[in-house]
Amino acid sequence: MENDYLESSIKQFEYYKFLGEKSIAQLPDDKLFWQYNEASNSIAIIVQHLWGNMLSRWTDFLNTDGEKEWRNRDAEFEGIIKAKEELLSKWNEGWDCLLNALRPLTGDDLQKIIYIRNQGHTVMEAINRQLAHYPYHVGQIVYIAKMATDKDWKSLTIPKGASQSFNAEKFAKPKSKQHFTDEFLKEDKK
């Protein structure tokens, strides 16, 4: 059961990485830096924050506090990234750090205690915390990208108006056990 939890968690993280990447890919470079107003974040700032959080939380996470001394969280919300290549590099570095930390875990690790700002979490609680945090920010990326592309937006999952045909296709197949992300991630790898 614990290994099923880990596998499911990894697939969900990969799914949100996929959604972010598909959103970013639809944008011209300048839209990655657009902010609605000074109080809002651009996609570049959101990526910068995710990168900083992921490196802090998942670097040596079984042994050191998840809020590393070297992290400068406030700087994550300043417009430091200036080019799409840098944005994609930070995006991949953050996700690689997370996924490389999760993949070697076993069920025995899930009840170990780790700390984030001196607050104890089981590894499972720490994973759940980030499974709420990262999709929150990926949702912001998707929302900004949808606004920026307007009528040119290409749906990331089930296109608007296609739910009935999508469901009909699913119910035409026999019942099976699979993760909900499998079909989207499988299509992406084609």
Whether the model pTM is above 0.75: yes
**What confidence score (pLDDT) does residue 80 get?**
94
Q: How many residues are given for the chain?
A: 190
Kindly list the domain boundaries of the chain, sorted by start residue: 2-156
Mention every residue, 6+ apart, whose C-beta is less than 8 A from residue 27: 43, 145, 148, 149
- Kindly report the CATH class assigned to 2-156: mainly alpha
- The per-residue pLDDT for 163 is 94
- Binned average pLDDT, 10 residues per bin, the chain of 190 residues: 88 97 96 94 98 98 97 95 97 98 96 97 98 98 95 91 92 88 69
| Calpha distance 172→91 (Å, rounded) | 38
